[in-house]
Chains A and B, each alone.
Chain A
Amino acid sequence: MLTNFEMQTEEKNEIVILRITGELDALAAPKVKAKLIDMTDSGKKKFIIDLKNVDHINSLAMGILRGRLREVQEDSGDIKLLNLSEHLTSIFEMVGLDEIFEMFKLEQDALDSFN
Chain B
Amino acid sequence: MKKNNIELEMPSKLENIKIIRDFLRKYLEIEKIGKKSSLQLISAVDELVTNVVEHAYKNKENEDNKIKFLVNKKENKVYLTIEDFGTGFIKNENNEKDPDRGMGLKIAKGMVDEFKVVNKSIGTKIEIIKELK
**Neighbouring B residues of A25 by C-beta, 8 Å:** 17-18, 21, 46, 50
Contact across chains for B18 and A62 when beta carbons are under 8 A apart? no
**Stretch touching chain A among B3-11, B80-88, B102-110:** B102-110
Complex Cα gap A23–B18 (Å): 9
**How many pairs of residues, A versus B, come closer than 8 Å at their CB atoms?**
59
Q: Is the interface of B mostly helix, strand, loop or mixed?
A: helix
**A34: Cβ under 8 A from any B Cβ:** no
**Neighbouring A residues of B46 by C-beta, 8 Å:** 25, 56, 58
Contact across chains for B18 and A87 when beta carbons are under 8 A apart? no
**Neighbouring B residues of A63 by C-beta, 8 Å:** 99-100, 103
Minimum Cβ distance to chain B for residue A3 (Å):
7
**Stretch touching chain A among B34-42, B62-70, B112-120, B125-133:** B34-42
**B56: Cβ under 8 A from any A Cβ:** no
**B53: Cβ under 8 A from any A Cβ:** yes
Chain A 33-86 interface residues, beta-carbon cutoff 8 Å to B: 55-56, 58-60, 62-63, 86
Q: How large is the interface on A (under 10, 10 to 19, 20 to 34, 35 or more residues)?
A: 10 to 19
Q: B40-54, CB under 8 A of A: which get 1 and which 0?
A: 101100110010011
Minimum Cβ distance to chain B for residue A89 (Å):
12
Complex Cα gap A82–B18 (Å): 25
Q: List 11 extra interface pairs beyond A56-B21, A63-B99, CB under 8 A.
A: A1-B15, A25-B18, A25-B21, A25-B50, A26-B14, A56-B43, A58-B47, A59-B100, A87-B43, A94-B106, A95-B103
Q: List 19 A-B contacts (CB under 8 A).
A: A1-B15, A1-B18, A3-B18, A25-B21, A26-B14, A26-B53, A27-B18, A55-B39, A56-B21, A56-B46, A58-B50, A58-B107, A59-B50, A59-B101, A60-B50, A63-B103, A86-B36, A94-B107, A95-B103
